[in-house]
Structure 1
């Protein structure tokens, strides 16, 4: 039987194995090895790294610990500003688990937390520091630190490209991957290129297109787990 708490849109076969995602302990050439084969160039690698404006690392998950910026819940270009502003002050630190990262306590009021609290130690991964030392990556770090709108524009485009990796569509935008067949895994429909009102949504805010797909994926997961439907 399928587990009751299993998310219907989760397909474990789509989770990439270790080695296909970047290792934060590596350097510039590792980033290129990972992202070049996906079709990304140096500018796009730096733009994608800007996702580190959000969230933080947890030692029990990635091995690293801490946040990149003082306000990790607001998307901005602070990651690039902090990376550059403290370039000479980042210090290598070995965590109790043996993992090495770079740390700095930000004292600049313009870059510190807006809630008035004393800023905590910030961190950078070795791959983050590689953006400064690599001559092809660094110019984009500097540009994004100076121009938030430029970063937002480039990030939006490259993130959309990342989400579409492996997806093939016909002229109408319909997904035509082999696994997207009758009684197989069904992807969500392509979103409109223009903003539209959500007037077709009902209880639970599930639109008329998403609800049937959710049910189909639930059945698909049940078959994978041997459930009798």
Structure 2
């Protein structure tokens, strides 16, 4: 009986030891819940074709620039069919990372249905400029880490899109220099896509026609330009 009791005692200790080891293993390897962002990604919605004011593209860019975290600008303009935003003055330079996604407009089925028309904004404006500085362009982007997709951008005195300073931007599936039907000359006096002192950008799936020049890459490295239609 004494030997039997010792055997039970040793077995119990061994069993407890194994349980402890398993517990420690599970503790070390369990997945921790993802940490919430300090400030969630903000989304600003364009709800009209006005040049300025609440719901306009201009206001959405201003709001996104004020927020230091990456943002999204989406579109929900009522009325169906193609919507045209006619500018009376250059849009603000994009100085904070943002995704401008016109494919979110209801009715989008693979080709742009949001037009950005600079016909009135002829004072050296470009379609969209994304920079960290402040040169007017259609879209001037200096912020870096930004995306522009699904827009038709035309009739600007400058470039449709100008990427400057910071890089890692994406320009995808836009019509640069024509209308949403891709059959009307709305060429920009400058370039469809201008990349200046900005590295590691990607241009893909864009149609670039009727512009003063298709595009240029100046003092910039690591850029990828592929599957674009040039005319």
Same fold (TM over 0.5): no
Please report the TM-score for the alignment, with normalisation by the length of structure 1: 0.21
Q: State which structure, 1 or 2, has the greater radius of gyration over its C-alpha atoms.
A: 2
Please report the TM-score for the alignment, with normalisation by the length of structure 2: 0.21
User: Does 1 or 2 have the higher relative contact order (CA < 8 Å, sep 6+)?
Assistant: 1
